[in-house]
Amino acid sequence: MPRYALKIEYNGEPFAGWQRQKELPSVQGAIEQALSRIQPGQHTIAAAGRTDAGVHALGQVAHCDLNKDWDPFRLSEALNHHLKPHPVAILKAVHVADDWHARFTAVERQYLFRILMRRAPATHDKGQVWQINHQLDVAAMQAGADMLIGRHDFTTFRSSICQAASPTKTLDELRVEEVQGFSGPEVHFHVRARSFLHNQVRSFVGTLERVGAGAWSPQDVKDALEAENRAACGPVCPPQGLYLAAVRYPDPVFE
């Protein structure tokens, strides 16, 4: 039974998240339904990571098993046809080994978070950014972000419903930069790690926004981390603006 890796882009706004849910629309459910149109029957796909409701993806990765030996390009075209009108696109499909797994073979996840800084309501970027009406001190936020790099107990920045076996993770990158976006000035957070805790990135961004606004100091971020207490975390930012940007594997899968 041939196995295929799928590189997936989606707008998470109309979905209750990646994971299939019985009564609610999900990205996984939409793709599995499209698979059932090209191969009748039940399908279960596995993804590199589960995104929450309202979270987007530029480079989510999943794998599926099919009876037919599809040409990968024709498979992506067929799935995109049957995914309409969902805001989900299969960017690429490739053959992979039978033991290749989208989640367990991955060695790194990369996330992007976008904050739009302007007072006028967002129109084109509505639902795609976290909009705030004040300026942020990017240098101060980076100083706070630097406190989080490395291997730590991230209990403070972990959701109370997180199911990870341990709160200890290694954060490889948390880079903050200001860019000129289409709709106005934006702050982008680039985050890399092998794996993440539930709501970890949104907890980072919400806390660092308080640093950028002047309500917290960079030292407060370090103190919050060392408290190892969820109550010490800053506000958790909304899901709008969060993107699963890329997933890396030992061997480049889509190149």
- For residue 22, tell me if it sits in a domain: yes
Residues 171 and 211 in one domain: yes
Structure tokens at 168: 């200890």
**CATH code at position 217:** 3.30.70.660
- For residue 226, tell me if it sits in a domain: yes
Tell me how far the alpha carbon of residue 23 is from its chain's centroid: 23
Residues 22 and 124 in one domain: no
C-alpha–C-alpha distance, residues 172 and 195, integer Å: 10
146: containing domain: 108-246
3-class DSSP state of 166: coil
> What does pTM read for this prediction?
0.95
Q: How far is CA 137 from CA 118, 125, 188, 214, in A?
A: 15, 22, 12, 8
Residues 115 and 29 in one domain: no
**Does 69 qualify as catalytic in the annotation?**
no
The residue from 71, 105, 139 where one domain ends is: 105
Residues 145 and 238 in one domain: yes
Render each residue's pLDDT in the chain as its tens digit; 255 residues. Answer: 899 999 999 999 999 999 998 889 999 999 999 999 999 999 999 999 999 999 999 999 999 999 999 999 999 999 999 999 999 999 999 999 999 999 999 999 999 999 999 999 999 999 999 999 999 999 999 999 999 999 999 999 999 888 899 999 999 999 999 999 889 999 999 999 999 999 999 999 999 999 999 999 999 999 999 999 999 999 999 999 999 999 999 999 998
**CATH code at position 13:** 3.30.70.580
Residues 115 and 219 in one domain: yes
Count of the separate structural domains present in the chain: 2
**Active-site residue identified among 52, 65, 137, 172:** 52
